[in-house]
């Protein structure tokens, strides 16, 4: 499963002269897509030799959500479960300018410290403390804007210039500790409101999290892509 990545990295670092698996032809998109897919688990667990830190768990120092009427900041957030996402679709465009991916992520969770104030749709919310999100399930679609360039080694590499993430929430359970500085009645009201309106709340307020998370993921992907030439990717 990790062979193609292993081959690619070893080749990239020049340590292996004989190629174990025949590399993809540069115009064989299907082969390249499969090669990239098979590298994902290794990518997510991090590749210290290339300076790529793990994306599962993923640590995010700060996430800022700024909406009209409400703002939140999440500190020291850890996201777990990207490695259990099932990639259902990965497409490269023929000109290598676009990559599309779809994943079913059924085992995500997240925890950290939060600070929130303002209006949560129709009720006031205020608080600061520990939070976690459990049983989070999302279909995550990402469209990457990419560029193919020639490295000094004469080989082709991909670079991600921009991305757009869309997420469809299927489930999410929220727990905010110390809402309203611990005033139980006010906190209970908010918890009940969140349970009953989790879908709408998630749809409205999720994107600062995805944008921040994928921004970091894309930085790591670019570090990876810089080290792996398209000519060295093989499909199994
Ligand atoms: C949040 O948005 C308001 C108004 O759009 C702006 O004045 C403020 O600087 C923003 N704060 C942050 C932290 O981005
Ligand atoms: C986040 O973690 C850093 C380093 O451990 C710590 O100094 C900081 O106080 C934490 N922030 C919050 C809001 O807990
Ligand atoms: C996503 O995966 C879960 C569990 O693996 C499955 O139950 C669900 O049907 C899948 N959803 C979609 C839209 O593929
Ligand atoms: C997330 O990023 C997209 C561009 O990729 C941008 O259009 C959108 O406004 C961002 N949303 C938030 C909440 O930052």
**Comparing C-alpha atoms, which of 70, 17, 88 is closest to residue 232?**
17
Ligand 1, atom 10: nearest CA belongs to which residue? 66
Ligand 3, atom 9: nearest CA belongs to which residue? 104
Q: How many domains does the chain have?
A: 1
Classified as helix, coil or strand, 18 is coil
- Nearest ligand, CA 84: 3
27 assigned to some structural domain = no
Buried b / exposed e over 79-106, threshold 16 CB at 10 Å, is: bbbbbebeeeebebeeebeebebbbebb
42 assigned to some structural domain = no
- Nearest ligand, CA 86: 3
* Per-residue model confidence (pLDDT) at position 5: 55
122 assigned to some structural domain = yes
Which residues have any ligand 3 atom within 6 Å of their CB? 104, 106, 139
pLDDT band at 9 (very low <50, low <70, confident <90, very high): low
pLDDT band at 105 (very low <50, low <70, confident <90, very high): very high
With 80 as the cut, is the pLDDT of residue 17 above it?
Answer: no
Q: What is the DSSP letter of 47?
A: B
Q: Give pTM, 2 decimals.
A: 0.89
45 assigned to some structural domain = no
Q: Identify the CATH number of the domain in which residue 199 sits.
A: 3.15.10.30
> Which of 61, 78, 113 gets mutated to test ligand 2 (max ligand atoms within 8 A of its CB)?
113
Percentage of the chain exceeding pLDDT 90: 83
Mean pLDDT over residues 211-215, rounded? 98
With 60 as the cut, is the pLDDT of residue 8 above it?
Answer: no
46 assigned to some structural domain = no
**Domain coverage including residue 88:** 60-228
């Amino acid at each position: 499963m990790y062979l193609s990545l292993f081959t690619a990295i070893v080749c990239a670092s020049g340590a292996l002269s004989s190629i174990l698996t025949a590399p993809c032809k540069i115009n064989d998109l299907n082969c390249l897509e499969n090669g990239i897919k098979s590298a994902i688990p290794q990518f997510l667990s991090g590749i210290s030799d290339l300076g790529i830190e793990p994306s599962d768990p993923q640590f995010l120092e700060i996430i800022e959500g700024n909406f009209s009427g409400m703002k939140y900041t999440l500190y020291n957030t850890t996201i777990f479960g990207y490695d259990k996402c099932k990639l259902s679709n990965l497409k490269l465009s023929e000109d290598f300018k676009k990559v599309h991916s779809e994943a079913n992520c059924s085992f995500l969770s997240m925890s950290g410290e939060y600070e929130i104030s303002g209006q949560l749709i129709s009720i006031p919310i205020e608080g600061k403390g520990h939070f976690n999100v459990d049983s989070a399930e999302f279909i995550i679609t990402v469209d990457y804007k990419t560029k193919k360039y020639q490295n000094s080694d004469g080989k082709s590499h991909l670079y991600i210039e921009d991305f757009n993430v869309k997420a469809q929430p299927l489930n999410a359970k929220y727990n905010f500790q110390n809402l309203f500085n611990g005033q139980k009645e006010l906190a209970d009201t908010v918890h009940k409101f969140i349970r009953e309106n989790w879908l709408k709340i998630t749809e409205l307020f999720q994107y600062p999290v995805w944008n921040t998370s994928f921004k970091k993921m894309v930085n790591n992907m670019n570090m990876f892509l810089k080290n792996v030439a398209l000519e060295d990717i093989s499909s199994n």
